[in-house]
Structure 1
Amino acid sequence: MQKEKIIIILGQTATGKSNLAVKIAKKINGEIISADSRQVYVGLDIGTGKITQKEMKGIPHHLIDIVKPKNKFTVAEYKKLAEEKIKEIISRDKTPIICGGTGFYIDAITKGVIFPKVPPNSKLRKILEKKSTEQLLKILKKLDPTRAKNIDSKNKVRLIRAIEIAKALGKVPKITAVKPLYKFIKIGLYLPQDKLKKKVEKRVKKMFTDGLLNEIKKLKKASISQKRLSELGFEYNNPTYEKVVRGTLQYAKHQMQWFKRDKEIKWFDASKKIFDIIMMKL
């Protein structure tokens, strides 16, 4: 029996993944499942570069705006919801297209994940919560250098959890290899460093023009604490243009470190005309 085909559009931030996913969905009668660990949150729109209704061009998008920002959302919860959506989309005789830059989410769907049964350590968490993401990354590097290379370095919650697990088990467990239920076609987008920098600078300028600071004010009015805002990313933690550009480029570097481990990804330079070539690969 032939496996159902699922297309994965992944890669660095600011490389045009969402736009490509919409174009492909239009061509092949697809629906899009987001694989972004922050776009799941309601109200985190500008800072996360969330796709707008206009940009969706009528293509159904799933797993965006599904959690209140006060609440935590785990990769295990994401995996469960994504697998349900995949089945739903296939049942409608459509092709699921998973699009995003959160490598852990994509691996959870395509490879399966061990979710370690390490209980929360409230005493350790209180100590770690006082530290910056940079300090937490340094701690994790000492405990588990491999995980430190691949983790979302701006996600404070994930950094704390990784340290918690590493302290309990000695290291963060690796992703397990499981027999995939579907045929995954992985398309990776990247940009040469100089072009990526320009794209990021342009995007960050637009964030501030579009009202990033007002978005933060609204979140604070909705009783989202400063502590929680810092957990949601550097864009929400007293942002400046320079700080967000620097943080985004650092994040893009970590994304590539994660994705380079996966030999199944077919890479394309997003600065070139690649749509027709990609369609031939599908």
Structure 2
Amino acid sequence: MEKKAYIIVGPTASGKSAYAVRLAKKVGGEVISADSRQVYRDMDIGTGKVTKKEMAGIPHYLLSVADPRRRYSVARYQRDAARTLQSILVRGKTPIICGGTGLYIDALVEGTFLPSVPPNPALRKKLETISIEKLFALLKKKDAARAKSIDWHNPRRLIRAIEIAEALGKVPRMQKRAPEGIKFEWIGIDLPDKKLKKKIHLRLLSRMRGGMLAEVKRLHTRGLSWKRMESFGLEYRWLARYLQNKITKEEMLEKLELDIWHYAKRQRTWFKRNKNIGWV
């Protein structure tokens, strides 16, 4: 008999986490997070990590499982999430995969088999000094096919793709080993532009009042470099620049809010390609 799991996707600030909790209460579910920044410990306010109160007693997995000073790869997420998925099913519960990182969700649900290429520290150090535009141009030269599908706004993914292309000659076509015996129901959560922009604005103000700046200071004090902070993007990038006196507070808030909106639009673009998603 085929077992069922739900996948809740959509742009940031659309209300995915709250929807997942409501659904979990209805179907006897447990939530697997699919967020590439929420896997890291002590990055709570800036990533919008669901709180214990918001969980309302529903178990959540793959939150705060990694040291932010160390890279948590898509391949590791795929492995950890697949094990969690099976564990939930074995206990007779319903898995609910919830998040906005499309690459993570595809790796888990479609069983995408990722190439096993070890990190190249020397190459990464060199590539980290290059602008996003030049990184994208370099990947395009090495592997035009991968360049067409990658999120070129994400320097970590560009560097990883170049790293793989350097090792293998090109980024190989991803093979698929989808989980068997599971029927996935895709649910998309979104809002009209005006409402989503307002939610992004109000959420940013709430996070600032809630101690997001102190969180970033604390991370740096505990050994997270500004350079590493920059790689996480969005809140951590702009707050890090502000704390280094590279921009004013007003500039930081303005650029951050715009950056979050652009990120939300990229998420929409990623998920709109998936015709299995039923939007609510």
| TM-score with structure 1 setting the length | 0.86
Q: Supply the AA of the counterpart residue of 2:37.
A: R
Residue 36 of structure 1 corresponds to which residue in structure 2?
35
Residue 100 of structure 2 corresponds to which residue in structure 1?
101
In the TM superposition, 1:161-180 aligns within 5 A as 161-169=160-168, 171-180=170-179
Shift of residue 67 of structure 1? 0.6
Residue 247 of structure 1 corresponds to which residue in structure 2?
259
CA contact (8 A) 2:9 2:16 kept: yes
Shift of residue 143 of structure 1? 5.2
With over 3 angstroms needed to count, the CA separation of the structure-2 counterparts of 1:144 and 1:18, relative to structure 1, is farther
CA contact (8 A) 2:10 2:190 kept: yes
Residue 74 of structure 2 corresponds to which residue in structure 1?
75
Q: Secondary structure at the match of 2:113?
A: coil
CA contact (8 A) 1:149 1:254 kept: no
CA contact (8 A) 1:152 1:251 kept: no
With over 3 angstroms needed to count, the CA separation of the structure-2 counterparts of 1:147 and 1:14, relative to structure 1, is farther
Residue 206 of structure 1 corresponds to which residue in structure 2?
206
Q: Supply the AA of the counterpart residue of 2:175.
A: T
Residue 216 of structure 2 corresponds to which residue in structure 1?
216
Residue 262 of structure 1 corresponds to which residue in structure 2?
274
CA contact (8 A) 1:114 1:173 kept: no
CA contact (8 A) 2:114 2:175 kept: no
With over 3 angstroms needed to count, the CA separation of the structure-2 counterparts of 1:188 and 1:255, relative to structure 1, is same
Residue 56 of structure 1 corresponds to which residue in structure 2?
55
Residue 126 of structure 2 corresponds to which residue in structure 1?
127
CA distance in 1, matches of 2:147, 2:56: 38
Q: Secondary structure at the match of 1:51?
A: coil
Residue 90 of structure 2 corresponds to which residue in structure 1?
91
Tell whether 2:20 aligns with 1:6.
no
Listed as ranges, the gaps of 5+ residues in structure 2 are 240-251
CA contact (8 A) 1:8 1:97 kept: yes
With over 3 angstroms needed to count, the CA separation of the structure-2 counterparts of 1:138 and 1:49, relative to structure 1, is farther
Shift of residue 221 of structure 1? 1.0
Shift of residue 236 of structure 1? 1.1
Q: Supply the AA of the counterpart residue of 2:271.
A: F
CA distance in 2, matches of 1:143, 1:209: 45
Q: Secondary structure at the match of 1:216?
A: helix
With over 3 angstroms needed to count, the CA separation of the structure-2 counterparts of 1:129 and 1:164, relative to structure 1, is same
Shift of residue 265 of structure 1? 1.2
Q: Secondary structure at the match of 1:190?
A: coil
Q: Supply the AA of the counterpart residue of 1:243.
A: K
- Alignment length (residue pairs): 267
Q: Supply the AA of the counterpart residue of 2:79.
A: K
Q: Secondary structure at the match of 1:237?
A: helix
Listed as ranges, the gaps of 5+ residues in structure 1 are 269-282
CA contact (8 A) 1:151 1:254 kept: no
With over 3 angstroms needed to count, the CA separation of the structure-2 counterparts of 1:23 and 1:141, relative to structure 1, is farther
Shift of residue 11 of structure 1? 1.1
The sequence identity of aligned pairs, in percent, is 51
RMSD (CA atoms)? 2.2
| TM-score with structure 2 setting the length | 0.86
CA distance in 2, matches of 1:86, 1:227: 34
CA contact (8 A) 2:112 2:178 kept: no
